[in-house]
Amino acid sequence: MEMQENENPLKSGFVAILGRPNAGKSTLLNALTGEKVAIVSTKPQTTRNRITGVVEVPARKGVHPAAQIVFVDTPGVHKPGSHLDRRMLQEVYEALETRDVVLVLMDATRRVQLEAVAQPGVAVGEGFDSQVPESGSGISDPPASNSKHERTNWASEDEFLFGLIRKLDCPVFLVLTKIDRIPKDHLLPLIETLTRQYNFAQIIPVSARKRDGLDILVRKIVEALPTGERFYPKEQYTDQPQRFMVAELIRESILAATGEEVPYSSAVVIERFEEPQPFVPRKKGAIPARAPLTRIVAAIYCERDGQKAILIGKGGVKLKEIGTGARRQIESLLGTRVYLELRVIVEPNWRESKSFVESLDWRNQLERLPGDQITEKHLGEDE
């Protein structure tokens, strides 16, 4: 294999996945990696951090060499209304700082809101580009009080998304998602509308749920990537530590179990994560040992007492439902039995607290852990 890769140089690179909320970014990432890398919900703004999914692509003789594609899923591009929203938008900008290809996902079932057609030398929604920071410049707050100015700068979030990609100097693919839900003759008018806005390197309709178009998408990405070295070991499919993924699975269970208000005001922090002792096989003929037990204590933060009451439910029924749903997913992820303890804490207006929002980033959480606690493997690494 090594000889083959030397004869046919490996291709590798970073592919940023952009799109509006609910465009299907996380579903696509999971389908491409074949693993549950990102949580999925029908509620918008599910993803809050950059999430990396690594895909090893074997060489295809006469088609393309072997490749390692590092996909970076980003929060949905939307108008920021809180510090949490602005931090999510910063995640998008940071993903665009290091990328070789960008995928712009558009939900084929949703009406795209573009008020103007791009003309040569004129940017659609001209005036809102001033809100798109140059690479590495951070986030400037959008205007809050002047509705006329806000209208100019945010004519639509679709236009804001196109404002982001017009600054890029790499191949940009238009990926139309959820094509299994619409008649095929509806695709052409949508493609015509979108290609007036940007000269996409590729236009690829896909259905992640049915895996339609994914092989073509991967092949075209490999063609566009530069020759390079692997960024991650072959077996690793994400850079996320287990404790972050556990927190996300708990949050996914909250999204599934609660109504519209609570999900956006909830955050999950893992307070204790006790990994089990290494499994020791029994002697032949002995009673099989039970699977090892992982003990996890997590705090669910919300902003108001009313939200806390919803999360706990009458007699603790809702919290038990959240815990049961999360525990099943966590056991599947870790391959152990799981004891999961949840508690709900009211942290008023936490979405506007810069320090609290920053503390939710798993990279920052790892920095605060004592050295002897940083023993978790990244998901996909060899045991």
In the chain, the amino acid numbered 260 is E
Give the span between the Cα atoms of 275 and 338, in whole angstroms.
10
Torsion angles phi and psi, residue 21, rounded to 5: -55, 140
State the pLDDT at residue 135.
Answer: 36
Separation of alpha carbons 230 and 148, rounded Å: 49
Phi-psi region for residue 368, left (φ > 0), alpha (ψ -120 to 50) or beta?
alpha
Q: Which letter, b or e, does each residue of 204-224 get, where b requires 16 or more Cβ atoms within 10 Å of its Cβ?
A: bbbbbeeeebbeebbbbbbeb
2-224 CATH, one of 3.40.1160.10, 3.40.630.10, 3.40.50.300, 1.10.287.610 = 3.40.50.300
**pLDDT given for residue 111 in this prediction:** 74
242-373 fold: GMP Synthetase; Chain A, domain 3 (3.30.300)
pLDDT of residue 61: 86
CA dist., res. 191 & res. 296, Å (int): 47
In the prediction, which pLDDT does 232 show?
A: 94
The H-assigned helical ranges of the chain are 2-7, 25-33, 83-97, 147-153, 157-165, 187-195, 214-224, 242-257, 305-312, 317-334, 354-359, 362-368
Instruction: List per-block mean pLDDT (blocks of 10 residues) for the chain, which spans 383 residues.
Output: 57 94 91 90 76 92 90 85 85 88 93 55 32 36 35 62 89 95 88 91 95 96 96 91 92 88 85 78 60 93 94 96 96 93 95 89 66 46 44
Residue 287: per-residue pLDDT = 60
Domain boundaries, the chain: 2-224, 242-373
> How much is the pLDDT for 368?
63
Using DSSP, state whether 25 is helix, strand or coil: helix
Report pTM.
0.79
First to last CA, the chain: 23
- Predicted local confidence at residue 140, as pLDDT: 35
Torsion angle (degrees, nearest 10) of CA 90, 96, 98, 99: 150
d(CA 155, CA 157): 7
